[in-house]
């Protein structure tokens, strides 16, 4: 079974969308193995987004994800990383198709409401950061 980390960012909780989004993953047949509501520290956020450290948007990315509580969860199932990436849609909600999570709910690229692991190596690293 493959595993993926998903983070529902602060805007999801502020807008009351967590239940709808979690239901999408369950209806797609994924198992939610772990789920926690937490407020991320700046240190955890910086470690999580370390590949963006040298990019101009890094500070605002860290500020946004630490601005309120987030839902962090691990989904398991056959091929879940690819399936989740399709369900989430492109980072830029302006080009995310309707029916994707970002296409249906996100309003800006800076606050794109959800993070999903982009591969098995990053999923393992991210899951260990948040749960082990």
Supply the residues annotated as catalytic.
Answer: 115
CA distance 129 to 17: 25
CA distance 12 to 19: 9
Task: List residues bridging with 116 in a β-sheet.
Answer: 6
Which residue carries 């040298």 as its tokens? 54
CA distance 87 to 28: 9
């Amino acid at each position: 079974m493959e595993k993926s980390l998903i983070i529902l960012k602060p805007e999801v909780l502020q807008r009351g969308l967590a239940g709808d989004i979690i239901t999408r993953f369950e209806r797609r047949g994924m198992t939610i193995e772990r789920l926690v509501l937490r407020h991320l520290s700046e240190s955890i956020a910086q470690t999580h987004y370390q590949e963006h450290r040298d990019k101009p948007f890094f500070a605002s990315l860290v500020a946004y994800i630490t601005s309120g509580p987030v839902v962090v969860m691990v989904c398991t199932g056959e091929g879940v990383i690819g399936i989740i990436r399709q369900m989430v849609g492109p980072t830029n909600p302006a080009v995310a198709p309707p029916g994707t999570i970002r296409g249906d709910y996100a309003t800006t690229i800076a606050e794109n409401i959800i993070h999903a692991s982009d591969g098995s190596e990053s999923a393992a690293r991210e899951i260990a950061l948040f749960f082990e």
